[in-house]
Amino acid sequence: MTSQAGYHAFDFSDLSAREAYKVMIGTIVPRPIAWVTTISEDGVVNAAPYSFFNCLSADPPILALGVENKPDRSFKDTAYNIRMTNCFTVNIVDRANVEAMSVTAVDFAPDVDELQMAGLTAVPGERVASPRIAEAPVAFECERYLGIAVSSAREIILGRIVRAHIREDIIDPNTFYSDHEKLDALGRMGGNGYAGTFDYFDLRTPSIDDVLNPGGKQAQVGNS
């Protein structure tokens, strides 16, 4: 680590994996949470939250998960089930379900149904084999699109969304606009921290004229 002009500079080649992880999760915030449900070949439902997650494309509609392997480099239940069934469902975590979500983060044995342990309800998938969580405000049924083994410790899984389930009070089916207050989604911070989405404001992207002529009429309208 070096210090220059008020900044600490970290060369990631000098950091351990744990140190790099701490730097990233403490500064790349808030991260959306993928509450992933899968099903094994034997029909056992698995649920686990992942905050290395985001949407990457709308055409085609692609979600990405970063799934870490176990310390012995074997697959976690989520990654293994996705490989075997080629599907998964991403449920969005809201404030009402945060404690139940934390239960599903416990490292239970593969034959344990995390949803049952958390008092949640599994609803059969409509386009995929994996179930969704009835209590979740939003769920995306996904087919496995691509798996990228970035190292022996981690895999990036891309999923193509084939069906979405969104609570009726959240989205307008005509305009497709969603109410962020009704959704009340949570994001992951560093350590044990979470953040809500109520600290919200609108800021329109300025036009070229706004930027080139900051004192002009367009800029005045944008700042009114």
CATH number of 157's domain: 2.30.110.10
Contacts of 15 (CB under 8 A, 6+ apart): 23
- Pseudo-torsion of CA 209, 212, 213, 214, nearest 10°? 100
What confidence score (pLDDT) does residue 217 get? 56
pLDDT band at 33 (very low <50, low <70, confident <90, very high): very high
The answer to the question of residue 1 being in a domain is no
Mean pLDDT (whole number) for 14-20:
94
The answer to the question of residue 4 being in a domain is no
Domain that holds residue 168: 9-222
Mean pLDDT (whole number) for 61-89:
92
Mean pLDDT (whole number) for 180-197:
95
Mean pLDDT (whole number) for 81-86:
96
Q: If you search the block for the tokens 């970035």, which residue do you land on?
A: 150
Contacts of 155 (CB under 8 A, 6+ apart): 66, 67, 69, 75, 79, 147, 148, 149
Where helices occur in the chain by DSSP H, the ranges are 17-27, 77-85, 98-104, 114-117, 180-183, 208-212, 217-222
What confidence score (pLDDT) does residue 216 get? 66
The answer to the question of residue 72 being in a domain is yes
pLDDT band at 90 (very low <50, low <70, confident <90, very high): very high
Tokens representing residue 190 in the block:
């560093």
> Which has the closest alpha carbon to 116: 44, 164, 41, 36?
44
The answer to the question of residue 2 being in a domain is no
Percent of the chain with pLDDT over 90: 80
The answer to the question of residue 209 being in a domain is yes
Say what the pTM is: 0.90
pLDDT band at 223 (very low <50, low <70, confident <90, very high): very low
Number of domains in the chain: 1
